[in-house]
A = this chain, B = another copy of it.
């Protein structure tokens, strides 16, 4: 049976990183992050044990959640401490009512340079590049879709929000911890590196030249997606092939996550990877 360390006081220094996690989310962090909920915890432990890009540092669980998590905790190496608390103590630590009762602190083991990550991609590759996505739900949904359609990587330009934020991680159902990614560089730099690596580059736009399900297959394909309101900039669209998703006349009304899902599905089908 896994050793559990009981926390009685919200100000116990051993769980300091879990204090007031809502405010913490607003202030940005180093390469550490809070994983919330069983689904994300499972992905974190999976990455930890597989020697992936992410490692677990410590867990903080509601006492009555421990039994249901027993099998998962068995997989966790012994050097990662597991703290448990009652609901009142847990709520006092987190700063709000944490009904899920499952928190973990993780960190990024390594942060591959953009050129290095792109170079490491297989000869047949499907990649998503997202430019200027500032909404945590949307960035999380992009990772979830990337995982669903077997994409090899997600490339975020430096203006995207951090996918390791608690809410983005949750919306991604932990896919942020499973799909290789970077968040660095300008859109111009990323496009140049992709072109140099032989990628067929497709940007989504309501005025795109090719309907998304008619995009021709290529060994290496990348989908570029922009912000929900403004979309991709004219500078980006001028440098790439453009694809559209047919919609009813009137407003361009798909949300960013759904548009990315439809486009990735089309490109993955074109490549015959599903």
Contact = CB atoms under 8 A, between A and B. Distances in A.
Taking residues whose C-beta sits less than 8 angstroms from the other chain, chain A's interface range is 20 to 34
B253 A148 contact: yes
A261 B213 CA distance: 14
Contacts of A268: 246
B254 A144 contact: yes
A173 interface: yes
Interface centre among A145, A255, A259 (most CB of B within 10 A): A255
A145 B265 contact: no
Interface of A: 141, 144-145, 147-150, 173, 175, 213, 245-248, 251, 253-255, 257-259, 261-262, 265, 268-269, 273-274
Instruction: Report, nearest first, the 3 A-B pairs whose CB atoms are least far apart.
Output: A150-B248, A246-B274, A258-B261
Given A248-B149, A248-B274, A274-B247, A144 B265 contact: no
B258 A147 contact: no
14 contacts: A141-B255, A144-B254, A144-B255, A144-B258, A145-B258, A147-B253, A148-B254, A173-B253, A213-B269, A246-B268, A258-B258, A258-B261, A259-B261, A261-B261
